[in-house]
Chain A
Amino acid sequence: MTSDHADHAVDIDKHVRIYVTVFAALLVLTIVTVAISRFHLPVHQAVTIALIVATIKGSLVACYFMHLISEKRLIYAVLALTVVFFIALLALPVITVHDGFWIH
């Protein structure tokens, strides 16, 4: 085995250890999500907490399983643009509902 190949194998071994750790974290956070829902919190609190936990879980999947943590700049640019449009898409109904535009 050449030195390059040995380095590569060590690198992948490190990745695999991270995958296992992330898997454990995702399982724990799934239990946390279900456990919190048992408290029957008011809707606003429940939504906020559930979204925070889901965002942490989603970030772990995106950063480590999808390797976003070490991706190229162009991919970040594509995703940044997507996030802007995604937020606009979600914000649009929220804004219109709060203005009473749709309800009245």
Chain B
Amino acid sequence: MDIPYTVELRRDTGLNNGKIGIWLFLASEVMLFGALFASYILIRTGSPVWPRGDTILDVPLATFNTVVLISSSVTMVMAWASLMRRRFGTFRIYMGTTILLGAVFLVVKYFEYGHHFHLGEFPSHNNFLALYFTLTGLHMLHVAGGMAVNAYFWGPGAKLWKTNPEWFINRVEHAGLFWHFVDLVWIFLFPTLYLL
């Protein structure tokens, strides 16, 4: 027996399973990052002195990473649009580029982290660095998770395109929603940690 509403829409909500599922998941993610942002506010406002992010962190590198992540959001949505136009080859190019841009983001973060560790700046160094490593570390895990899902749809998961293209388009759309959320979180992390 097939699972209902994987492709067709429910009459009452106008949504399929995957769409409502991914939005409920993203709602829980908002609360997860919200808790950490609340911790940031609490610790920062309770601290008599707080360093400006740009005195400790590398703003040009982070700006570059912001552009990388925004670009990856565009390539992700273009991958979905390619499937909607029934152009599977173009989808592969855009999805591959999205995965590559995610990898570039992580490599840049690797060098950023490496630089701090080289200077002896670990999470235990001070509250600012503890928050920086926690927030960016959790965000990096999300980037890595999103890359794994995208890589699955670029590779083995793409077989579904031949047997059930509509279901495949839905899955890519939902993977895209997660990826855009990861971009959205970075849009707030960047000024909060690096510029203020």
Query: What is the size category of the interface that chain B forms with chain A?
Result: 35 or more
Complex: A75 Cα to B20 Cα, angstroms: 7
Q: Is B148 part of the contact surface with A, judged by Cβ < 8 Å?
A: no
Q: In the complex, what residues of A have CB within 8 A of residue B31's CB?
A: 82, 85-86, 89
Query: What is the size category of the interface that chain A forms with chain B?
Result: 35 or more
Taking CB atoms and an 8 Å cut-off, the chain A residues in 52-104 that contact chain B are 53-54, 57-58, 61-62, 65-66, 72-75, 78-79, 81-82, 85-86, 89-90, 92-94, 96-97, 102-103
Nearest chain A CB to B142's CB is how many angstroms away? 15
Which A-chain residue is minimally distant from B42 (CB atoms)? A93
**A90-B190 in contact (CB<8A):** no
Partner of A33, one of B37, B176, B195: B195
**A66-B180 in contact (CB<8A):** yes
Partner of B13, one of A58, A74, A86: A74
**A50-B191 in contact (CB<8A):** yes
**A82-B30 in contact (CB<8A):** yes
Complex: A73 Cα to B14 Cα, angstroms: 9
Partner of A30, one of B46, B66, B184: B66
List B residues at the A interface (Cβ < 8 Å).
Answer: 13-15, 19-20, 23-24, 27, 30-31, 34-35, 37-39, 41-42, 45-46, 54, 59, 63, 66-67, 70-71, 73-74, 76-78, 81, 84-85, 176-177, 180-181, 183-184, 187-188, 190-192, 195-196
Q: Could you list 9 examples of A-B contacts with CB < 8 Å? A: A12-B81, A16-B78, A33-B190, A37-B54, A51-B191, A54-B188, A58-B187, A61-B180, A86-B31
